[in-house]
Amino acid sequence: MGFKEGFLWGGATAANQYEGGWNEGGKGLSAADMMSNGTHTTPRQITRTLEEGLYYPNHKASDFYHRYKEDIALMAEMGFKTFRMSIAWTRIFPKGNETEPNEEGLKFYDNVFDELHKHGIEPLVTISHYEMPFYLTENYDGWVSREVIDMFVRYCEVIFNRYKDKVTYWLTFNEINCGTMPMGNYLSLGILNEGTRDFTKQIDIPQLRFQALHHQFIASAKAVQLGHSINPEFKIGCMIAYMQNYPYTCYPQDVLKCQKLKEMGNFYCGDVQVRGEYPYFAKRYWEENDIHIKMEPGDEEILKNGTVDFYSFSYYMSNCVSHDPNLEGTAGNLMGGVKNPYLESSDWGWQIDPDGLRYTLNELYARYQIPLMVVENGLGAFDKVESDGSIHDEYRIDYLRKHIRCMEEAVNDGVDLIGYTPWGCIDLVSASTGEMGKRYGFVYVDSDDLGNGTFDRSRKDSFYWYKKVIESNGKDLD
């Protein structure tokens, strides 16, 4: 028992938070390029132009653009079997609506993929990870416009053809279910409604948001079909931010509220992408929220024919749900909730729940019965560099160890789990706060929240620990 042979151990990143080189090689401005830095108490600002006096942390990020060889060598040293990264759409189509791709951008990823293969590392590529061309936000209202589907499919066609012999594993949209929440407007759907500036308080028009999400579903399904026609060996997955919620008590109103939240938060998107149709509960939600999805003839068939090969998700924490508005709250990835008295929290207030991962894996496998992959998990924490340069991140090791144990339990339960790529394997910029100080990595990047530093890399204690984990296929967790 335990992890099967060929289990895909690795790490995960996204271009906008890791790559840097924001204005090099012909790259255009992405949604993330227009966001200033923040903290967990001061929200990031979304600006329509780059404003003097603001700092934009995604511009340089971790500078992978210039250091990819060194970084990939470090991943190889840890024994990575796979590396999750994203392609910046704006490197290939700087504005998004061009007909010809940017060769320099394509060449960059050729180099990255070649370097990975040189070290025996399989790329796992997210096609769109919170980095849609900003031009499309300004001129098309992001995914609200149906025209964007064709632009996205053109982008997919270019990268699928170009990398068909270098990449097998693809994810269409990162955390697509972010679009079911107001905070998904900008980064996920490219919608910047008049009056939005504060990332945490975006102006929300549910009708537009759910229509935009429908367009993403169609785009994803078309991409899956196209990918399989270009290379039948492609394995194309969905990616959901799995928000595990528990009823705070056994009071039936808590249980029902929790069920409803999970339906819309997790299953709405998963069901469309795995089963190829909207779930039964969608209709009532649309009616009650005055949402009218405009479907074109053929849309239902497109969804049916573009179901994914595997289900991938991020898992960081869990929350509780209660009918009582007066209970103590807690923060979380994309969504907060009610505090769970049994769990501890990270420095950013996310509740740490390894058992919840086993529960989630079983819940998902029972529902979908297709291979699962955990493509994000980890502890965002402050790290301290000692005078000799070492970094003793026991807390991170402890978090990951417990989650891996629970994954193994799920595998022993019978779940078909094919890979694990903890988030931010090399330190990168936080999506929610724009901080560099919220670190997830096995490798430390010498840069502070304002981009000061050498950007040199160094190995944390967790680096050596994870190397042993991979070497032993998850058996040696000490």
What amino acid positions are annotated as catalytic residues? Answer: 175, 376
Q: Which stretch binds ligand BG6 (CB under 6 A): 75-83, 157-165, 286-294, 426-434?
A: 426-434
Least distance from ligand BG6 to the Cβ atom of residue 378, Å: 8
Q: Scan for tokens 């330190």, then name that residue.
A: 427
Q: Residues of 43-78 as b/e, b for ≥16 C-beta within 10 angstroms?
A: bbbbeeeeeeeeebbbbbbbbbbebbeebbebbbeb
Chain centroid to CA 42: 22
Nearer to ligand BG6, 322 or 447 (CB): 447
**Binders in 368-397 for ligand BG6, by CB under 6 A:** 376, 380
**CA separation (Å) from 447 to 35, 71, 437?**
18, 15, 8
Work out whether the CA dihedral 449, 454, 456, 462 comes out positive or negative: negative
Least distance from ligand BG6 to the Cβ atom of residue 12, Å: 8
- Residue of 432, 457, 465, 466 that binds ligand BG6 (CB under 6 A): 432
The amino acid sitting at 48 is: R
Least distance from ligand BG6 to the Cβ atom of residue 35, Å: 12
Size of residue set near ligand BG6 by CB under 6 A: 15
CA 237 – CA 365 distance, rounded (Å) = 14
Least distance from ligand BG6 to the Cβ atom of residue 1, Å: 30
Nearer to ligand BG6, 82 or 432 (CB): 432
Q: Which stretch binds ligand BG6 (CB under 6 A): 38-46, 207-215, 335-343, 429-437?
A: 429-437
Interface with ligand BG6, residue 438, by CB under 6 A: yes
Q: Residues of 234-269 as b/e, b for ≥16 C-beta within 10 angstroms?
A: bbbbbbbbbbbbbbbeeeeebbebbeebbbbbbbbb
Least distance from ligand BG6 to the Cβ atom of residue 74, Å: 19
Least distance from ligand BG6 to the Cβ atom of residue 114, Å: 25
CA 405 – CA 408 distance, rounded (Å) = 5
- Residue of 241, 282, 426, 445 that binds ligand BG6 (CB under 6 A): 241
Nearer to ligand BG6, 174 or 360 (CB): 174
- Residue of 423, 442, 465, 466 that binds ligand BG6 (CB under 6 A): 423
Nearer to ligand BG6, 102 or 433 (CB): 433
User: Interface mask (CB under 6 A) for ligand BG6, residues 4-43, using x and -?
Assistant: ----------x--x--------------------------
Helix H, strand E, coil C: the string for 169-226 is EEEEECCHHHHHCHHHCCCCCCCCCCCCCECCCCCCCHHHHHHHHHHHHHHHHHHHHH
Least distance from ligand BG6 to the Cβ atom of residue 152, Å: 18
Interface with ligand BG6, residue 214, by CB under 6 A: no
Contacts of 25 (CB under 8 A, 6+ apart): 65, 91, 102, 104, 105, 108
- Tell me the residue number closest to ligand BG6, measured at CB: 432
Q: Which stretch binds ligand BG6 (CB under 6 A): 336-344, 359-367, 430-438, 451-459?
A: 430-438
Least distance from ligand BG6 to the Cβ atom of residue 36, Å: 15
CA 74 – CA 203 distance, rounded (Å) = 42
CA 194 – CA 217 distance, rounded (Å) = 25
Q: What is the largest CA-CA distance in the chain?
A: 65
Interface with ligand BG6, residue 314, by CB under 6 A: yes
Nearer to ligand BG6, 276 or 378 (CB): 378
Chain centroid to CA 124: 12
Q: What is the DSSP string of 266-285?
A: IIHHHHHHHHSS--TTHHHH
Q: What is the DSSP string of 96-114?
A: S--SS--HHHHHHHHHHHH
**Binders in 121-180 for ligand BG6, by CB under 6 A:** 130, 174-175
Interface with ligand BG6, residue 45, by CB under 6 A: no
Nearer to ligand BG6, 88 or 411 (CB): 88
Nearer to ligand BG6, 247 or 380 (CB): 380
Q: Which two tokens stand for residue 206?
A: 């549910």
Interface with ligand BG6, residue 89, by CB under 6 A: no
Work out whether the CA dihedral 113, 23, 96, 152 comes out positive or negative: positive
Interface with ligand BG6, residue 333, by CB under 6 A: yes
Nearer to ligand BG6, 39 or 231 (CB): 39
**Interacting residues with ligand BG6 (CB under 6 A):** 14, 17, 130, 174-175, 241, 314, 333, 376, 380, 423, 430-432, 438
